[in-house]
Amino acid sequence: MKFFRQSVFYGWYVLLSSFLILFLVRGSRSIISVFFKPLISELGCGRGEFSLVVFLNLAVFAVMITFIGRWYDRHGAKPVLLCATLFLAFGYIGISQINALWQFGILYGVFLALGLGGTSGHLFAALNSKWFYSNRGAALSIALSGGCLGQYALAPLATHMVLTFGWRWTFAAIGLCILVVNLALIFTLIKEKPAVLGLQPFGRITADRTDNARANSQEADQGLKLKEAMRTSPFWLYLVIMSVCGGGNFLVLLHLVPMVTDYGISAESAGDMLGWYGLLSLVGVLIVGRTIDKIGNKTPVFLTVFVRCLLFLFILKYHTVAAFYIFALAFGFTMLIVGPITTTLIIKLYGFAHMGLISGLFTTVHHISGGLWAFLAGALFDVYGNYRLIFIAYAVASLIAAGCALLIREKRYFSSGETAGF
């Protein structure tokens, strides 16, 4: 191991670990749609009730993520990841034994939410940002792409396992895999920052490491606090964008498979669509990583929400297999674009010092909105028997978010009175 550490920059091992953990954690989280109809059939509940548990999951996640971000800022990644892994394993394995909706609500709505909060993409983005100075956007995209490939691989696999072995065995297998893989990576490869190994961030070259550490400290001291960031207009504009993006992400992730099968398309085909959705989200996040390094954050954000508006209008009219594939692939391409953008935009606007807390707040809004849209979709389906009304509402919301993106000014804000108000 010593040879490899000397010949390969150690940040790549941290990046690889982040990729693998997100492969399992975000991949398994993204395939809840596969379990939708089997669980509501077994538990005897409607789509609104099931979606309410998902809303609880996202709400608990959203409330806790800011506190977890603060904990990460103070204590680092390892203790956060360790506790999160234990919550995840207990939650998934516990779900395999449930017989009532309230049990699912506790395990999925609370335990898994806490585990997911400690393994969220923005915390891995913050961790890897410490290791990469140049090509930071590309590095973050590689790390976050683990969740995309996880969804691509696990969606059809989970569909096959549910149809062959049942949903109980599938949940148990997910929990066991997360426990074993995460613990191995946490205790062997993950390191908090380059200074632990006497290294500098990738791409930062200075004559003296002491000077480099001082420069890093000065850079951090210039970062805006959350209250100061909240006095700037880009903060609120981006908050609206994150709200809309989160709403679309979880609306589609939860309801894609049941919606597709409602039109007589097989569960296997629906699972494949969900998998390809994940793969295209990988393509999107890799492309945007290189793009924001060159042209900034504003244009990719605008295109993301505007394309979503068009896609929801499209799926309101067309309901063929081809149309659903087009919708799944194109929406998947946009799904994770705001992931690396959130981190790079916060750094560009407000600095490093309180990145975990500020990004945690954005993630909180993202997930509360996601849970609300997912719940409303299920509740409205129970009333009207279709998703038409919620799709129209989301198309309008996406158009509003596109306008917000155009108003964002990408400039550095400081504590010295240079912050811009409305």
Backbone angles phi, psi at 227, to 5 degrees: -65, -35
Q: Look at residue 356 and tell me whether its pLDDT is greater than 60.
A: yes
Q: Please give the sequence-ordered ranges of beta strands (E in DSSP) within 248-299, or none if there are none.
A: none
Residue 221 has a pLDDT of 45
Residue type, 42: E
Q: Measured between alpha carbons, how far is 116 from 31 in angstroms, rounded to an integer?
A: 14
pTM higher than 0.85 for the full model?
no
**What does residue 314 show for φ and ψ, rounded to 5 degrees?**
-65, -45
For 380-418, the pLDDT digits (tens) are: 999 999 999 999 999 999 999 999 999 988 888 887 544
pLDDT given at position 111? 95
Collect all residues with Cβ–Cβ distance below 8 Å to 196 and sequence separation of at least 6: none
Task: Assess whether pLDDT exceeds 60 at residue 219.
Answer: no
pLDDT at 1: 47
Domain ranges for the chain: 8-197+223-407
With b for 16 or more beta-carbon neighbours within 10 A and e for fewer, the 58-97 pattern comes to bbbbbebbbebbebbbeebbeebbebbbbbbbbbbbbbbe
Q: Domain 8-197+223-407: state its class.
A: mainly alpha
Residue 102 has pLDDT above 80, yes or no: yes
The answer to whether 63 touches 120, Cβ cutoff 8 Å, is no
Mean pLDDT (the chain) is 86
pLDDT confidence of residue 45: 93
**CA 255-259-262 angle, 5° bins:** 145
pLDDT of residue 312: 97
* Per-residue pLDDT reduced to its tens digit, 267-309: 999 999 999 998 998 888 778 877 877 787 888 899 999 999 9
Report angle CA 8, 14, 17 to the nearest 5 degrees.
120
What distance, in Å, lies between the first and last C-alpha atoms of the chain? 53
Instruction: Tell the burial category of 115 from Cβ atoms under 10 Å away from its Cβ (0-12, 13-18, 19+).
Output: buried
- Beta bridge partners of residue 202, listed in sequence order: 132
The confidence score (pLDDT) of residue 388 equals 95
Residue 249 token pair: 């992400």
Listed in sequence order, the DSSP H helices in 351-415 are 355-384, 388-407
- Greater confidence (85 vs 363) lies with 85
Q: Which residues pair with 132 in a beta bridge?
A: 202
Residue 379, pLDDT score: 96
Which of 10, 7, 2 minimizes the C-alpha distance to 190? 10
